[in-house]
Amino acid sequence: MDVFAKLLGSNILVTSFLGNSQLACYPFKTFEGEPIRTISPKPPQNTLLIFLTRSKTIIKSPLEHYFYRAILVGLGVVNKSTSDFPTGKGVIRVDVPAKLERIWVNLPKPLNMSLEFIPFTAKGDRSRIFLNLSRQNSFSLLKSNVWCRKQVSRTFSTSSECATLTEDNEPSKAEKFRLSEQFLSKYQDVIPPFGFNGLGEMVYRRTYSRLKEDERVVNGTFNIQKRWIEQNGLTWDSIKAQESAQSMYDKIFNMKFLPPGRGLWAMGSPLTEERHLSSALNNCAFVSTEKMFDGSSSISTPFTFLFDASMLGVGVGFDTKGANSDESKLHVIMNPNISRPFTTYVIEDSREGWVKSVGMLIDSYFYENVGPYQFDYSQIRPPGLPIKGFGGISSGAEPLMRLHTHISRLLSENIGKPLSVTNIVDIMNLIGKCVVSGNVRRVAEISFGDPNDVEYINLKNYDINPHRREYGWASNNSVFAPLGFDYTTICDRVIKNGEPGFAWLDNARAYSRMCDPPDHKDMYAQGGNPCLEQTLESYELCCLVETFPTNHTSLDDFLDTLYSAFLYAKTVTLERTHWPQSNAIMLRNRRIGCGLSGVAQFISQRGLAELKTWCEEGYKHIQNVDKEISKWFCVPNSIKTTTIKPSGTVSLLAGATPGMHYPESRYCIRRVRLSKNSELIDPLEKIGFKIEQDVVESSSLVVEIPIDHGEGIRSLKELSMWEQLSLAAFLQKYWSDNQVSCTVTFDPETEGPQLKYALDYFQYQLKGISFLPRMPLGAYAQMPIEAISSEQYENIISSLLPQSTPTSTITGAKQKNLKVDFQNFQSKDKSDPEIERYCDTNTCVLDPDVW
């Protein structure tokens, strides 16, 4: 680099080396007025030199107080940087491939600079392209910039050539987006407004917090955007991105909106940044069995899709349409072809290995040229070892071995028969049981069947199907009800155990919001997710995000939050899954579910009329935001945009009631399970929370947290079945263009006989609904939620440290809330939190311990 030393003071450099040609220099002058004529000796071939110099212009920046001006002239692509960049001025030398593509420069530290690129024509005309850069370690020229090169000297080709800069051959490690350190420093000593007397923060630290910095989720979101923009040759505005990211961070910090539990757990982590498992950012999915026999894929594909997605923590819905179809009768179950030699498959110690083995086993019962197989489990890690990335402890090979045995037995018992409704649901449920045993404590499945199919309706009648008691709990069961259906008989089952639920696919396909005319946007929809808040096509996944209207001071404040919330969810749609059939649908639909939580609190504080206004104005605003962001990303508008999700642990973080649901009581005990080895146990004991042994899981403890849902809120027992249905219809009408997840709690004796009449009315106002018979208090030990009186709440709060603070007055008595601060708690645990599961609510997540 010594040969270039005399040029380091130059303001302008014009050099280009191509092949074995002589150096091409243009007579530009330095600051001192001396022209640049030649440089010798000649640098290596295929080299582009970039000179950066510091001028006297001052830029007020928290990072740099100098303005760096870079003028690049040359033909070629920057592939890698091979020299240091001295403070203030310097040279970057890069190798140049023969093909003209994108110019990319990596700098050793973030700078504030403006890049001026001067392309040349044969006449020496110059057109300048400016690119502002802020706090980035890299920059690139964009796809929209084009220059032509003609014969100027012996250096260039004699033929006329034009080249467009493309996204190909980018450096393997482009600089990542980062929130400003100066911005983040403002939040360093501020306690986030976690809800419910420390419950929100405890859940966050137990479930979502990783070892990386708190800004991980926002950085991850904007890194996805940056990758998309640069890969597609679009314009990345770093200043605008920083402003938008700071706004998003502030709204998440102040609990105005939150990504789903999946996003809090995975966004910005190595799982998505390095392994690119973007499926882990999606909440739920649906797969249909209707075309499993049409030859487009193997017969096992719906089952392996559910297995794969469930192991990633994605809840999956499925139907039973593949059973007893004309195609299924042509593909009866048969014995594996034992005339062929057995093939030994060594199962990899991975999610993919487990999934592949199940697919191979199922297909061996339907295809003569497949199998038979014997499985080698020796590569699967033994039980008790930590699982990197996904968190948790390995279960060993035992759950998979049992699954193989169960599936083989089930199919062998039905040789010569077509696959039945019971067979389909059994295999899906057995997979769910395996997932629960194999490190995942819970599983979310929902099956959809025909309401006239007695076999399906009786799947959870264990007097008729006693063998299913072992795994029948693994799915909620619903039916696709046609409009005008006679609900008399089926309601008898609902009264007994709350199932089946109801999905009106005709409404889901025809309508967005129910107050708008039919638009038939979802004419290809085939089902929904386990919580029934999203309409879905087969193999489609959904991304949800949650807003909290009660944490806003005004409608304008809420509308501003909707922009950041929607931007998060739309960003997730830019990522690809590892399932091609899912990508084909998701690239087209870009489906999003922007939800509301704390609805019951909002109605109690502001009234139903104001909720209607916020819903209508919010929905209108989201449609405009979608158009703006979609135009920027150059992707289609989202087919659907809004939802009401049931929520659960995420709403706890913000101190909000879940979705549209009312609490058991204003005052409750909320029980949370923690590992005996959790570092949260010690600070919780010091505060004085009640902690006891988990009656189900010997390795866990149960912590009791008293919570206050807020003044004026009614308890669930004060709401009739009819009012709950009316609120669901209200939100389906004015807010959700997807669906409203609502589990109606009813009294089996007084309201059970009214069920069929209620369904008659509301089938024309809803897209889906489920029911739950009201259980008596203390139905089983350590219930997650227990209603208590105001006196009980007051006594518990008064006994805890730190000192509680009065917050309201009811009937003349001051009520207290607890300010719990975990800020000084430093975790020593170096393991990842366990993978977050699906929708994070107990209404659609099945736990075998409570069945």
d(CA 753, CA 746) in angstroms, rounded, equals: 11
Report the DSSP beta bridge partners of residue 380: none
Distance CA(218)–CA(169), nearest Å, equals: 27
Of 654, 661, 638, nearest in space to 723 by CA: 661
Would you call 193 helix, strand, or coil by DSSP? coil
User: Measuring CA to CA, how many Å separate 588 from each of 518, 724, 763?
Assistant: 20, 35, 29
Q: Active-site residue among 284, 491, 531, 543?
A: 531
Residue 40 CB-density burial (10 A; 0-12 exposed, 13-18 middle, 19+ buried): exposed
Long-range interactions of 392-401: CB distance < 8 A, separation 24+: 392/439, 392/440, 392/834, 392/835, 393/439, 394/439, 395/437, 395/438, 395/439, 397/347, 398/437, 399/433, 399/434, 399/437, 399/438, 400/347, 400/354, 400/357, 400/434, 400/438, 401/375, 401/377
Please name the residue ranges forming H helices in 703-830.
721-734, 755-762, 790-798
H or E stretch at 182: helix 181-185
533 in catalytic set? yes
Options 533, 537, 751, 834, the catalytic residue: 533
Placement of tokens 């190909």 in the chain:
168
Q: How many Cβ atoms sit within 10 Å of the Cβ of residue 356?
A: 18
Angstrom CA distances, 135 to 94, 181, 234, 564, 792, stand at 22, 10, 19, 21, 54
CB distance 447 to 400 below 8 Å: no
d(CA 659, CA 661): 6
Rounded distance between C-alpha atoms, residue 235 and residue 228, angstroms: 10
Question: What is the rounded distance in angstroms from the CA atom of residue 818 to the CA atom of residue 684?
Answer: 13
Distance CA 581, CA 351 (A): 19
**Residues tagged active-site:** 531, 533
